[in-house]
Structure 1
C-alpha cells in the first residue's frame, strides 16, 4: 500500500510540476539558464541589463520579446529627447546648448526609427527590424559622440543614450534569432 501511495503522489507531483512549467507559473529565471533569454543576453552589449529587461517581459516568445524591447527603447528614447530639450533650454554655454539641440534631433530620429521597426515586426520583416534597430543605435551613439570633447555633459543624458543602445542591441539579437541567423 505504501508503494502505491508513493506512485500516486509521485505521479501527481510530476503532473503539477509539468503544469507549472508549461503555464509559466514557475519564475522566469528557471527558464533563463538554457532558453531564449540566455541565448539572447549572452550576445548583447550589456548581458546584465538584458537579463533584467527580459525577466520583466514575462515571456520567452521572441516576437513578444521584440515588441517589449522595442517599446522599452522607444520610451527611453522619448525620455532622452525630453531631457535633451530641457537641457538645451537651460544651458548657458552656447556650445552645450547646441550639442543638446543636436541630441534632440538624434533622439527624435530614434523614436521614428523604432516606430518603423515596430511596423516591420508586425509585417514579419525581421531584417527590417534589424536594420532599424541598428539605425537607432547609431543615432543614440551620435548624440553620445557629441560629448567626447569638451564641454562635458554633466547630466544623465549620456547614461540614457547608453541604455537606448543597450536595449537596441537586445532587439538586434532577437531580430537575428527570428531570421534564423543567431
Structure 2
C-alpha cells in the first residue's frame, strides 16, 4: 500500500510540474517579432509558410529559426563551393573563394552560437549570429564589380533575413 501511495504522489507531482511548465510557455508574438525585423515582409512570409511557427513559444521559435539559419548558411556554402569549382574567370573564382571562406566562418560562428541558444543566452546568441551575418555581407562585397551567379545574392539575402529574425528573438529572450 505504501509503494502504491508513493507512486501516486510521485505521478501527481510530475503531472503538476509539467502542467506548470505548460502554463508558463507563452505563444510567441509573431507580429511583434516581424514588426521589429529588418525585412518585415520576409519575416511575415517566413512565419506564414512554416506551419510549425504557429503556436510556438519563444524558445521553440528561436530554435526553429536558428536551425533555418544554419541550413541556409550550409546551403549557401555548398552552392558557392560548386560555383568556385566550375568558374574559369580568375576574378570571379577569387570572389567565390573569398565568399567560401566567409561562409565557413559564418557556419563556425553559428556552431558556436548553439551553446548560447541552448542556455537561452540572448545577448551571446545575438553576438554570434551578428558575426555570422558579416560573412554574407563580406561575401556580397567580394562581387562589387563582378557579375556573380544570381543565386549568391539570393542566398546572401535569405541568410541575412533569417539571421535578422534570430536577432529579434534573441533580444526578446
Q: TM-score, normalised by structure 1?
A: 0.75
Q: Which one is further off, 94-103 or 110-119? A: 110-119
1:61 paired to 2:60: no
Which contiguous aligned blocks of 4+ residues in structure 1 show a shift greater than 4 angstroms?
none
Query: Is the CA contact (8 Å cut-off) linking 2:113 and 2:128 kept in structure 1?
Result: yes
Root-mean-square deviation (CA, aligned residues, Å) is: 1.7
**In structure 1, the residue corresponding to 2:110 is in which secondary structure?**
helix
Shift of 1:52: 2.5
Runs of 5+ consecutive residues of structure 1 not aligned to the other structure: 1-30
How many residue pairs were aligned? 145
Partner Cα distance (2:152, 2:142) in 1? 11
C-alpha deviations, 1:29-87, integer Å up to 9, x for none? xx8xxx61111101112112212222313343111111111110111111110111111
Partner of 2:172: 177
Runs of 5+ consecutive residues of structure 2 not aligned to the other structure: 1-26
Query: Is the CA contact (8 Å cut-off) linking 2:43 and 2:162 kept in structure 1?
Result: yes
Partner Cα distance (1:119, 1:46) in 2? 26
Q: TM-score, normalised by structure 2?
A: 0.78
C-alpha deviations, 1:59-116, integer Å up to 9, x for none? 4311111111111011111111011111111111111001101111111111111122
Query: Is the CA contact (8 Å cut-off) linking 1:67 and 1:118 kept in structure 2?
Result: no
Query: Is the CA contact (8 Å cut-off) linking 1:36 and 1:60 kept in structure 2?
Result: no
Partner Cα distance (2:39, 2:120) in 1? 26
